[in-house]
């Protein structure tokens, strides 16, 4: 969970996406807290699922707002 990436996305995303991003982030935090309270396999599974959902949505939004970025073959390509 990359906090800086999430902050940038909150600034760039529309209101609906901001809400979903915040809800998913809060779900991860809650699952972490629940797991710390009671370290069961069920709570670990919940945590992992919440984190997977957040990561997938962050990747989707990042691609939508910032693109995947084009890689250059070498440093000389920057000059060309």
At 29-39, the pLDDT tens digits run 999 999 999 99
Alpha carbon 19 to its chain's center: 13
- Mind listing the pLDDT tens digit for each residue in 21-76? 999 999 999 999 999 999 999 999 999 999 999 999 999 999 998 886 545 455 44
Alpha-carbon gap, residue 51 to 59, rounded angstroms: 12
Phi, psi dihedrals of residue 40, rounded to the nearest 5°: -110, 165
Q: Is the pTM of this model over 0.85?
A: no
Alpha-carbon gap, residue 63 to 23, rounded angstroms: 20
pLDDT band at 17 (very low <50, low <70, confident <90, very high): very high
**Cα torsion for 49, 51, 34, 8, to the nearest 10°?**
-150
Q: Is the pLDDT of residue 4 over 70?
A: yes
């Amino acid at each position: 969970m990359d906090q800086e990436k999430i902050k940038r996305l909150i600034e760039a995303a529309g209101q609906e996406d901001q809400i979903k991003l915040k809800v998913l982030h809060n779900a991860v935090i809650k699952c972490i807290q629940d797991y710390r309270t009671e370290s069961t396999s069920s709570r670990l599974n919940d945590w992992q699922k919440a984190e997977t959902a957040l990561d997938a949505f962050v990747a989707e939004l990042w691609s939508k707002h910032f693109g995947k970025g084009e890689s250059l073959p070498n440093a000389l390509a920057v000059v060309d």
